[in-house]
Chains A and B, each alone.
Chain A
Amino acid sequence: ETGVTQSPTHLIKTRGQQVTLRCSSQSGHNTVSWYQQALGQGPQFIFQYYREEENGRGNFPPRFSGLQFPNYSSELNVNALELDDSALYLCASSLELPGVGTDTQYFGPGTRLTVL
């Protein structure tokens, strides 16, 4: 069974640039969630994708957007990067059961984004 993978591991960007982070979900999972973890803090929910559509969103501006592909992998895009976007971005996959909800989320190793 393949776990959740993310790429790249590290990324350095400058303010105003755009970035794309990628996530491959665990085998058998159909849902991907993204979280932002600033230094010294707990992860904050950005959004979740199920059946290629956004399925819940946290308190993040529209410049944070995403995609989910038919193979359930996902991308997180951030436009107009700000210094405060520097963080560890975590992807989690899970199995959504219709009418039941989302089961346990399993996390990838994360992508460390530094904005200069």
Chain B
Amino acid sequence: AQSVTQLGSHVSVSEGALVLLRCNYSSSVPPYLFWYVQYPNQGLQLLLKYTSAATLVKGINGFEAEFKKSETSFHLTKPSAHMSDAAEYFCAASSGSARQLTFGSGTQLTVLP
């Protein structure tokens, strides 16, 4: 069974600082990987996805993530945090043609002024 682990349920950064949100997956086959963002009382918005093309994936709002097979990781980064980045972030995985997304437990990002 596939699992996704997000290290750190809460992360705080200062405005302008680097954002690093960690995600590790457990899969017997290279998965498809996704990062979604959820603002309060809203649904999930896709930030970026990895589907076995380039290992460095660029997404919306300046976010990017790097797929590292040797580390089974897909960490999300942004060089400079903005106040509007404060939200909950979810890493998710699906395997090939598998139909379900398996989500991590989420990381709440706080951006301090």
In whole angstroms, how far apart are the Cα atoms of A100 and B4 in the complex? 23
| A: contact size bracket | 20 to 34
Contact with A along B94-106 (1 / 0, CB 8 A): 1011111111111
Interface size on B, residues (CB 8 A): 24
Is residue B46 within 8 Å, beta carbon to beta carbon, of the partner chain? yes
For A48, the chain B residues whose CB sits under 8 A away are 99-100
Is residue B25 within 8 Å, beta carbon to beta carbon, of the partner chain? no
For B90, the chain A residues whose CB sits under 8 A away are 42-43
Would you list which residues of chain B between 16 and 70 have a CB under 8 Å from chain A? 34, 36, 41-46, 49
- Closest A residue to B96 using CB positions: A101
Is residue A2 within 8 Å, beta carbon to beta carbon, of the partner chain? no
Is residue A110 within 8 Å, beta carbon to beta carbon, of the partner chain? yes
Is residue A56 within 8 Å, beta carbon to beta carbon, of the partner chain? yes
CB of B36 within 8 A of CB of A104, answer no
Given contacts A107-B36, A107-B45, A110-B43, contact A101 B98 (CB under 8 A): yes
Most buried by A among B41, B43, B92: B43
Is residue A28 within 8 Å, beta carbon to beta carbon, of the partner chain? no
Contact with B along A24-45 (1 / 0, CB 8 A): 0000000101010000111111
Given contacts A102-B94, A108-B43, contact A42 B104 (CB under 8 A): yes
For A6, the chain B residues whose CB sits under 8 A away are 43
CB of B43 within 8 A of CB of A109, answer yes
Cβ 8 A contact of A106, one of B46, B94, B97: B46
In whole angstroms, how far apart are the Cα atoms of A52 and B53 in the complex? 32
In whole angstroms, how far apart are the Cα atoms of A101 and B103 in the complex? 18
Given contacts A90-B44, A102-B94, A110-B43, contact A55 B106 (CB under 8 A): no
- Known contacts A43-B101, A92-B101; 8 additional CB pairs below 8 A are A40-B106, A41-B106, A43-B90, A44-B103, A58-B100, A90-B43, A102-B94, A104-B49
